[in-house]
Amino acid sequence: MTSKKNLTSIAKHYPKKHFVAASAVASFLLTLAILPTSEKVSASRTQVDLTLPMSDITQDDETTHESIHPIDSDRVISSTVEAAPTVPAKNIPKKSGIEFTKQYTVKNGDTLALIFQKADLSSRDVYHVAKVYDDATRLHPGEQVSFAYNADGSFKAFKHQKTKLVSNIIKKVSDDYQVEEVVREPSIEYRFAQGTIHSSLFLDAKEAGLDQTSIMNFANIFGWDIDFVQDLRQGDNFSLMYEELFLDGESIGTGDIVAAEFVNQGTKFQAIRHVDEFGRTHYYTPEGKSMRKAFLRSPIDFARISSHFNLSRKHPVLNKIRAHKGTDYAAGRGTPIRTAGDGKVVFAGWKGGFGRCVIVQHGQGIQTLYAHMSKFNKKTKKGARVSQGQVIGYVGSSGLASGPHLHYEFRVNGVHKNPVKVKLPEARPIEKKYRKEFLADANKWLAILESNQRSVLVASVD
C-alpha cells in the first residue's frame, strides 16, 4: 500500500523541519488573506475518523533534569463514524542493551563540552564523540541527550535524541567510537477534516481542526494552481484525508496528507499522494498529472501584490508613465525570495533602477527576474545552478523603490508576460511504471474522501 512506504523518511523529516517553519509563517498568515465581509461568519468545522476496510491494511522512562513535553495535538476529532484502522509500526528497534543513566535537556547556550562536563566526563570524550558525529556540535534547545557509563564511571555511550522518532547513539567499542542511527516508525491513523472559507485559509483550516503543519502542507500542494492570498472567495471549501502519527499509544503530530480537495470559485482541484520506490513524495491529480508545475506561481510565500503587471502604469518614484512589466509583491524587509523554477543564474548584481537583481535562465526560452533585493543568498552567483523554491535573496528596497518589495518578471523568448496569469508549464506526469498502482490508490482515496463528505453532510442536516 502506497501510504505505508518509507515511514523512515517521515520519521527523519517530520518534527523540526516542519514545526519551526510552520510556526513562523503561521503567525504571519494571521494578518493576511482576510477577505472582506460585512458580517463575521464562524467557520464550519467537521472532522471525523476514517472508515477503511481492514482488508486494505497490511498488517525507557528515565529521570530527567528538565522535562520534555510531548507535542500536543490541538485537533478536535468528532468520531461520527467507525474508528480509523491503524497501520502498525514496523521494525521497532530492539533494545541496544545499553543503560543510559543520566539524561539532560539541551538549553540555550549549552555546548557539547559543557554538557559532558555536567555528566562528569572528560574533554577527551568530547573530542572523540565530536570527531565521529557531526551533529554533536549542532545540538538544539529542547533536544535530549543521555549518557551510559562503564562500571568504573568512564564513558560508554552517548545518545542524541534528535526527535521523538530518530536518535543517534555513539558508543565506545574498545578504542573505537561508532555511530548508530535508531529510527522508530510510528503507527498511523487516518483523519478527515473539512471546512469552508469565511476569512482565510489559515484561520478557517485551524477552525476545522488542522494544525499549522498540515495547513502549510495543504497550501503547498495546491499552491501551483491557487494563490491563497488573491484567489480565495467566501464559500470556497476544502476537505482532506491525512495521517496522525502515534508512538507508544501517544499522538506525536501529523504526517502526510494522502488525499485533498479544494473548490475555488466553483472549480474543483483534487490531489492524491504517491510515494515512489525511493521514498520521494509527490502529488498528482486523480488522472496522474502532476500538481507541481515547472514554475511556482509566486516567488514569495503569502505576500500581497502591491502593483500588478501594467503597461501604462505611472512610476511611483519617477512620477511618469512607464510600463510595469512585472508584478510587485509587498513584504517585510528580509523576507526570503525563492526562485520560481529550476535554472541557472545568468545575472546577480546591481542593475540600475532594479537595484540588487537576480536573473535566472530556465529551459524553453524562459527567464525570471527578481529585483530590489536587500541582499543575495551567499550561493547566488552568476553561473550557479538553482532549483525551484531555493532561496536566492531577500526583500529590500534597493534601486528605484519607494519601499521594501520584490519586483518579479516572467519573460518568454524575451517577451514580458503577466506572472499572475501566464500559463505555467506542467511538470512530468506520474511515471508509467507507477500508473496502474496510483490510479487504484486514487480511486480508493477519492471514494473515502467522498464517503466522509457525505457522512458529514448528513450529520449536519440531522
Which tops the pLDDT comparison, 447 or 134?
Answer: 447
* One domain for residues 52 and 162: no
User: What total of structural domains would you count in the chain?
Assistant: 3
* One domain for residues 279 and 341: no
Whether residue 425 lies inside any domain: the answer is no
Give the Å distances, CA to CA, from 80 to 194, 208, 356, 432. 14, 15, 56, 39
Name the band, by pLDDT with cuts 50, 70 and 90, for residue 210.
very high
DSSP strand E in 106-249: where?
Answer: 144-149, 155-161, 166-173, 176-183, 187-196, 237-247
Per-residue model confidence (pLDDT) at position 441: 94
Name the band, by pLDDT with cuts 50, 70 and 90, for residue 307.
confident
Last residue of a domain, one of 183, 213, 240: 183
Percentage of the chain beyond pLDDT 70 is 75
Which of 139-143, 270-274, 277-281 is the most confident on average?
270-274
Note the pLDDT tens digit of each residue in 52-94. 332 332 333 333 323 222 223 223 332 233 333 444 433 334 4
Distance from the Cα of residue 98 to its chain's centroid? 35
* One domain for residues 191 and 260: yes
Per-residue model confidence (pLDDT) at position 96: 56
Whether residue 313 lies inside any domain: the answer is yes
- Report which of 402, 408, 406, 360 is spatially closest to residue 385, judged by C-alpha positions: 360
Whether residue 299 lies inside any domain: the answer is no
Of 23-37, 154-168, 377-391, 397-411, the one with minimum mean pLDDT is 23-37
Of 85-89, 322-326, 329-333, the one with minimum mean pLDDT is 85-89
Whether residue 460 lies inside any domain: the answer is no
* One domain for residues 147 and 230: no
Mean pLDDT of 105-122: 91
Mean pLDDT of 27-31: 37
Supply the pTM of this predicted model.
Answer: 0.60
The CATH code of the domain that includes 154 is 3.10.450.350
Per-residue model confidence (pLDDT) at position 225: 85
Q: Rounded distance, CA 236 to CA 226, Å? A: 12
* pLDDT at residue 170 is higher than 80: yes
Whether residue 436 lies inside any domain: the answer is no
Whether residue 438 lies inside any domain: the answer is no
- Report which of 302, 264, 230 is spatially closest to residue 29, judged by C-alpha positions: 302
* One domain for residues 212 and 139: no
Q: Rounded distance, CA 319 to CA 322, Å? A: 9
Mean pLDDT of 262-290: 94
Q: What are phi and psi of 50, to 5 degrees?
A: -80, 135
The CATH code of the domain that includes 404 is 2.70.70.10
* One domain for residues 238 and 171: no
* One domain for residues 214 and 77: yes
* One domain for residues 191 and 226: yes
Per-residue model confidence (pLDDT) at position 316: 53
Name the band, by pLDDT with cuts 50, 70 and 90, for residue 204.
very high
* One domain for residues 211 and 80: yes
Which of 277-281, 294-298, 348-352 is the most confident on average?
348-352
Name the band, by pLDDT with cuts 50, 70 and 90, for residue 333.
very high
* pLDDT at residue 284 is higher than 90: yes
Last residue of a domain, one of 256, 284, 312: 284
Whether residue 203 lies inside any domain: the answer is yes
* One domain for residues 78 and 219: yes
The three-point CA angle 181-184-188 to 5° equals 150
* One domain for residues 177 and 192: no
Strand partners, 394: 336, 375
Domain that residue 345 falls in: 304-417
CB of 179 within 8 A of CB of 162?
no
* One domain for residues 329 and 276: no
CB of 300 within 8 A of CB of 395?
yes
Whether residue 297 lies inside any domain: the answer is no
Last residue of a domain, one of 231, 253, 284: 284
Cell reading at 274: 504517491
Name the CA radius of gyration of the chain, rounded: 25
